[in-house]
Amino acid sequence: MNIYFQITLLATAIPLTWCAPSSEKLVKRATLNDIATTGYATLNGGTTGGLGGPVVEVNNLTAWAAAVADDLPRIVVITGPISGSSQVMVGSNKSIIGKNSAAKITGIGMYILQKKNVIVRNLIISKVLAANGDGIWIQKSTNIWVDHCEIFNDQDHGKDYYDGLVDATHAADWVTISNMYLHDHEKGSLVGHSDNNGAEDTGHLHITYHNNHWKNVYSRGPSLRFGTGHIYNSYYDNMFECVRPRKGAQVLVESNYFVGASKPIFGTDGYAVARDNAYIQCTNQNTAPAGTLASVPYSYSLLGSGNVVAAVLAQAGATLTF
């Protein structure tokens, strides 16, 4: 904590990269009342989660599931490890926040179905079997902010043993996924689940991904059908296929750093605008047809592709303290 404050004070004078060896995460101060300030989750009325509701601490599955079940505003703080083989249904108006690095969720997925206004932050989620859904599954839901979480599995069981790390389907909308460490997995993040779901999805699925660290994920960083995606300031390390717009989806992909990808930006029937991306040891670059998403209706800060790796390594994942 003290180190973070010192670095903050020095930051105006000394570039972050000088202070932050890549092996060491900067601890970042946050508050339980934080609301979404970046990306599509700031539109459509904004994303405030449980702001205004009581703070409830939980450290077991029963208490956690009960605390998020209804739609009343509530800030639910997870204070210790919770493991099992299950799925927690998440209601509207919730902030679900890991108190510190003890908040490790193993084997339990979160399902946000037909809900509105949910924030999930600072959790380390792993090993959610496909039978229990995605790590975080956002379906028919709007105004969702997932921030500073680490989600991972492994690549040892074939691609359908686990499902997605964080997926958004069935006309989910106004979503921001930021500062995540997403790693060791086959099918990263799916937006729009089927080629045949255009009637429901078209005009929805607005989603922003930024300042994320993707590592050792085979594909879907994200794969996005029908929707609108803004992907920036992210570090893709050792993926086969990264950003894939499909079925008329439009993506704006900027200020990212791709290393060792076969298909950094890949599309045939989805469209991309790509600006200032670095492609290091990649087989291809951007193969998607030229898109129309040249701007987005919110303000944001680009790091510049050359600064992404140091910044993302220092901050991505469950690095918040409260």
Ligand X SMILES: *[C@@H]1O[C@H](CO)[C@@H](O)[C@H](O)[C@H]1NC(C)=O
Contact residues for ligand X, defined by CB under 6 A: 58, 60, 62-63, 71, 73, 92-93, 116
Residue nearest to ligand X (CB): 71
CB of 98 or CB of 317, closer to ligand X: 98
Distance from C-alpha of 169 to C-alpha of 191, rounded to nearest angstrom: 6
- Nearest approach in angstroms of CB 116 to ligand X is 5
Selected catalytic residue, list 29, 74, 121, 220: 220
Kindly give the residue spans of alpha helices, DSSP state H, lying in the chain.
2-10, 16-19, 61-67, 198-201, 308-315
Least Å distance between CB 218 and ligand X? 36
Q: Is 280 exposed, middle or buried (0-12, 13-18, 19+ CB in 10 A)?
A: middle
Does residue 246 have an active-site annotation? no
CA atoms within 13 A on the CB side of 217: 32
DSSP run (H or E) holding 123: none
Residue in this structure with the two tokens 């505003």, named with its chain if needed = 73
Minimal distance in Å, beta carbon 15 to ligand X?
42
Tokens of 258: 């791709």
Closer residue to ligand X in complex, CB, 103/239 = 103
Residue with tokens 């930006």: 265
- Which residue lies nearer to ligand X by CB, 24 or 71? 71
Q: Which is nearer to ligand X, 114 or 283 (CB)?
A: 114
The CA distance from 91 to 114, in Å, is 9
Q: Please, what is the minimum distance in Å from the beta carbon of residue 71 to ligand X?
A: 3
Residues labelled as active-site residues: 220
